[in-house]
Amino acid sequence: MRILLLSPRPFYPANTGGRIRSSKLVEQLARWHELTIACFESAQDDPAQFERMRATCARLERVPWHETPRYSAAFYTELATSLPSPLPYTVRKYRSEAMQERLRSLLRETPYDLLVCDFLQPAINCLDLPIRPKVLFQHNVEAMIRARQATHAESLAARIYFRQDAWKLARFEARAAKAFDHCIMVSEDDCRTMADAYGVHHTSAIPIAVDTDYFRPRPEDEGEAPELVFLGSMDWMPNQDAVSLLASEILPRVRRQVPATLTVVGRNPPASVQALAEQPGITITGTVPDVRPFLARAHLVVVPLRFGGGTRIKIFEAMAMGRAVVSTTIGAEGLPVTDGRDIALADGPERFAEVVVSLLRDRATRVRLGDAARQQALDGYSWTAAAAAFSSTCEALVERTRAAATSTRSSGPPSPR
């Protein structure tokens, strides 16, 4: 197939869950199909990111785009000016006449079989494009994340803003999903949410995937001092909230009983997260070249997410390394795991701390959970299998679209009476 893929940002380096998912799938799809990628480019981007993308696909088209630094004065000005807009801020900032024209130009030049939009936000540029079928690759149910975020926001102003944004996101998410011929989700839970919230049933889920050769158990690296590890991109609000909860409410409860430390591993920590390193027993690493040494020495990997969506690739990576994971129910949402068998689930700071303390004192149970977690990862899917499922879904959709078009042409207009 000839596939035209719209990507909001370069997916290298693959250091976030979304980038990992996109890059692994695209690398496989490009081996089987002729793939053109259209991507936004900001002045801050490293040219090497695009060189690697260009080596992956048949053709790469870059469209200039201005990225406002998060938490800057200009960022908050943009948030304020977006309030009257019917579009949520995260969608509005990707609306681009230049990208829309580039996509139309590509469609005029080449008879593409399929358009794939990676993530919801840039889909604003695809709704009216003259190509069928169109596939929306949804990494999360975005409105659900924002609604959960509103519930846990600390200030009244933040709660009001997030509730309004959740409403805008729900309207746009429903509109976009219905404008595309198919939505590929990252979990069956998300498929059910799309059906329940929007009445959208043309969805399917790609399987969970992890590289179990790269992420292998190294139990001998576990340190002597009890160490908790949180792994995740620190420029994502759900992770910032989780780390704040760990530092303020969970870790103090744990340290009253066990002298545990917390290591937060993840890219781009904001000042509020970096400041947590001033507290006893907390280390903030920032960006690291390889997360495996941190996972290997962890006594427990902790995931106290209170909102979020999609699949938690970082949890599956920890499981593949045979690490015991303690997560909230929401934190493990979308993963094929069972509480007490291959993961420990606990909700609320007090209960979460109790489970952490219990497991830190019980190495045998930690090992049992870690071994079962590794087996669950082995029983899952490789990225090749996940990409094959993605490809098969797209191929079937293209065939159905062609068959429908042929049927329409062959039937012709009704005969005059």
pLDDT tens-digit map of 53-86: 999 999 999 999 998 887 788 888 988 888 899 9
Average pLDDT of the chain is 92
Same domain, 392 and 346: no
Q: Flag whether 415 is in a domain.
A: no
Together in a domain, 263 and 354: yes
Domain extent, residue 68, equals 2-209+382-401
**Residue 409: inside a domain, yes or no?**
no
Q: Are residues 37 and 144 in the same domain?
A: yes
Question: What pLDDT shows up at residue 410?
Answer: 65
Q: What is the pLDDT of residue 14?
A: 87
Which among 378, 393, 410 is the end of a domain?
378
Beta bridge partners of 134: 115
Q: Is residue 348 part of a domain?
A: yes
Is there a single domain that holds both residue 195 and residue 235? no
- Looking at the structure of the chain, the number of domains it has is 2
Whether residue 66 sits in one domain with residue 174: yes
What pLDDT was estimated at residue 39?
97
- Note whether 230 and 83 are same-domain residues: no
The predicted structure's pLDDT at residue 414: 58
Residues 194 and 63 placed together within one structural domain of the fold: yes
Same domain, 203 and 240: no
Q: What's 112's domain CATH number? A: 3.40.50.2000
Q: Is residue 411 part of a domain?
A: no
Are 163 and 289 found together in one domain?
no
Q: Within a domain: residue 412? A: no
Whether residues 395 and 340 share a domain: the answer is no
The pLDDT tens digits for 390-402 are 999 999 999 999 9
Indicate if 119 and 233 belong to the same structural domain: no
Kindly state whether residue 138 falls inside one of the protein's structural domains: yes
The pLDDT of residue 107? 97
180 falls within a domain: yes
Is 417 a member of any domain? no
State whether 235 and 264 are in the same domain: yes
Residues in the chain with pLDDT values less than 50: 417
